[in-house]
Amino acid sequence: MKIDWEHIDIRELAAIVSEKLNENGIDAVLVGGACVSIYTKNKYLSSDLDFVTHAAIREVAAAMSGLGFKRETSRHFIRKDCQFFIEFVAPPAAIGDEPIKNFTKLKTKSGKVVMFTPTDTVKDRLAAYYYWKDPQALEQALMVARDQKVNISVIKRWSAKEGHKEKCKAFLDRLSL
Amino acid sequence: MLEALFGNSTIEKILFTLLVYGEGYALGIAKTFNAPVNRIQQQLRRLENGGIVASRLIGKVRIYSLNPRYPFLKELQAFLTKAYEFIPEKEKEAYYRKRTRPRRAGKPL
């Protein structure tokens, strides 16, 4: 299959990378802004794809070279003709101090992607809003919560545990507008 | 003190600095410990790649702090806090009790 790297969609790229890693015996989970892009059908378009893997970075680099991606810095990979870059973030897959064990398995025409669920994507973005006061992260959390079915009681409980009840209320107030 | 655990003494100095002051930057840490700045930068990068510290750019300076999203943050802070108690007073005085309150611009020292 010929890949149009210049115009590739983030969802298909996530699947192509996931399948290549899988072929090489590497499990990886898509997290971060790319999940927001996929769940909002690119209302927000991330420029990078973050994967969490427990595999050694040299094994990842070997697999990624099979797709023509070169290691740019210690954990970033780029391909000249592709607008997205790929980052492998340090494990574990966690939000706050909670390990994440249940994932969405998204099927695309290019293969499967294991990724954060919509609820965990909202929590992940809210974590950035809670800890770094990042207003973009709040907007992204809202976009996902509006476009996808999310478990509000899980989000409320987790926010309270993280000590951010007030900021969670601000998020919920915006969500109900 | 924790060199055997962290693999080198620079990591220990960086982590104690971030624990005590809340944040720090490579040149400042290097000056405090009279260490080469590239050694501090290299270890800060290593910690950042591991998700243990996070950084943000303010002007031209990259400021580092313990990553609030690190899943083992509470445990790491508890461990470092305990270990900090064992640092000799002389060392604490020299490295971890620098003035952090504001100093008005233009005020003579």
CATH of the domain at B19: 1.10.10.10
- CA B65 to the chain's CA centroid: 8
Candidate from A90-94, B37-41, B99-103 with smallest mean pLDDT: B99-103
- B97 in any annotated domain: no
Token reading at A114: 């294991």
| Residues of B whose CB is below 8 A from A120 | none
Distance from the A171 Cα atom to the nearest Cα atom in chain B, whole angstroms: 19
User: Residue B109 — very low, low, confident or very high, per pLDDT cuts 50/70/90?
Assistant: low
Residue B101 resides in a domain: no
What gap in Å lies between CA A117 and CA A105, rounded to an integer?
9
pLDDT digits (tens, 9 = 90+) for A129-144: 999 999 999 999 999 9
Q: B51 — phi, psi (to 5°)?
A: 80, 10
The ipTM (two decimal places) reads: 0.74
Query: Hey, which residues 7-26 in chain B have their CB within 8 Å of chain A?
Result: none
Average model confidence (pLDDT) across chain A? 95
CATH topology assigned to domain A5-115: Beta Polymerase; domain 2 (3.30.460)
In chain B, the number of structural domains is: 1
In a domain, B22, yes or no: yes
> Does a structural domain hold residue B81?
yes
Q: Is the minimum CB–CB distance between B36 and chain A shorter than 8 Å?
A: no
Would residue B100 count as lying in a domain?
no
